[in-house]
Structure 1
Amino acid sequence: MFSISNKHEEFFDYLITNANSFKRGAIIAYEAMNDLTVLPERMKEITELEHNADKTNLDVMVQLARIFITPIDREDFYNLTCSLEECIDNLHGFLMRVDMYHIEKTTPAAVEGTKVLVNMGDELNAIFELLKNIDKNQAELMHHAERLNRMETEVDKIYRQEMSRLFMGDVPLLDVMRWKDIMGAIEETSDKVEALGNLIKGVIMKYA
């Protein structure tokens, strides 16, 4: 079995840090969709999270360049950390759209969609906590990764239903344009998380 003992396990801590940032970003998005009055404050927080995630990602790159032996292939670490950073970037982009379009009233679909993103954040946190012991936690890791796939399907369903509602003809055109883009950002974020989940599955199968 593959062992990662005494092989710079701090690399996993970088991933855990950014997984926590994604979870917090998803909570911020969910809170903003429940109460738009908190948006200015939440924008500041998620912008800081995005900047911190960039810094963490850079720290990983620097460490990968310095250290010869890593717990898993440096290419796998690189792909995982970059994919996770993209997920956080997407959350930031989602809230930027809400702010830029001067949204004054939220929708049930946006609340639902961001709630699923919070649940996806829970799964990512669990995955990266377990990843330090891939061989021991293989079955549990695969379970969490599969849950990410199901959640992405759930967001797809919410997105399709909302697009159907928007294009029924009784929603003002400007609102259609705004919410099509905003809901698209939620859906794209869930796609990014699912793609990360698929990368994680590949790592599990490679090292377990």
Structure 2
Amino acid sequence: MNNSLLSRFIPKESKFFPLLKQLSQIVLQAAELLIDSMEHDTSEKRQEYYRKIKEAERKGDQMTQLVFDELGKTFITPFDREDIHDLASSIDDVTDRIHSASKRIAIYNPRTISDSGKKLAMFIQQGATLICKAMDELETCSKKKSKLQEYCQQLHELENCADEVYELFIMQLFNEETDSVELIKTKEIIQELEKTSDAADHVGKLLKNIIVKYA
């Protein structure tokens, strides 16, 4: 944060908070589409949902670029430019991971999505909801940080739950799946879902750093 005497008298731009909020809402939209897509086993439906998620991913990229453009034009930011840049990038990374998982489902077209895969998608949706709530608290975190801290902790707990589901499923997959092609398809999809949960937890870790620096 710029602590110079000048920065104390120049109002800081608050436009980044609604932009980050919009970015988080795109993550939630993509996560909800991912859950809905898993209720369908046909190639046509999977392709349809992939196109919808791809459009959300495109909007996320555009919104992230808008944040970067505004950083280049803004004199005084509410917190360090690097922190805003990294936070926007990490939120967009969650959408990118959702897009990547959906792409694999559409291309590989597995026989079905396992209950573990659906559970991971549920964790991702819950994580996206927490990211949205965290963005609501970000602007006032210097005065009131408890809720933001709670959301960060919940993101981490979700990631731990996702790890447990992933590890158990992989063990069962290699023990029970006899079709090597289906095994490879399923393993790659589940891995991407688990990485998406990791990406959501990374948002929480960046927010924790922001709390330490500014709250």
TM-score normalised by L of structure 1: 0.94
Counterparts in 2 of 1:188-207, with a 5 A limit? 188-207=195-214
RCO greater where, 1 or 2, for CA within 8 Å and sep 6 or more? 1
User: SS state of the match for residue 175, structure 2?
Assistant: coil
CA contact (8 A) 1:21 1:88 kept: yes
CA RMSD of aligned residues (A): 1.7
Match of residue 140 from structure 1: 147
5+ residue gaps, structure 2, are none
Q: Provide the C-alpha distance between the structure 1 equivalents of 2:166 and 2:104, rounded to a whole number of angstroms.
A: 16
SS in 2 for 1:167: helix
Larger Rg: 2
Write the deviation string for residues 118-146 of structure 1: whole angstroms up to 9, x where unpaired. 11011001000110111233011000000
Aligned twin of 1:27 = 32
Q: Percent identity?
A: 24
8 Å CA contact 2:24, 2:128 repeated in 1: yes
- Give the distance between the partners of 1:137 and 1:162, measured in 2 at CA: 40
Following the alignment from structure 1 to structure 2, what is the Cα–Cα distance between the partners of residues 129 and 33?
29
Structure 1 residue 11 corresponds to structure 2 residue 16: yes
Q: Flag structure 1 segments of 5+ consecutive residues without an equivalent.
A: none
Give runs of ≥4 in structure 1 deviating > 3 Å: none
Q: What CA distance in whole angstroms lies between the structure 2 residues aligned with 1:39 and 1:169?
A: 25
Kindly report which structure 2 residues correspond to 1:20-99, keeping only aligned pairs within 5 A, or say none: 20-37=25-42, 38-99=45-106
Question: Match of 2:166?
Answer: 159
Q: Establish whether residue 129 from structure 1 lines up as the match of residue 136 from structure 2.
A: yes
Conserved in 2, the CA contact under 8 Å of 1:131 and 1:137?
no
**For 1:49-74, what per-residue CA distance to the aligned partner results, in whole angstroms no more than 9, with x for missing partners?**
11111111111111111111011111
* Residues 14 and 60, structure 1, Cα contact 8 Å, conserved in 2: yes
Count of residue correspondences: 206
2:110 aligned with 1:103, yes or no? yes
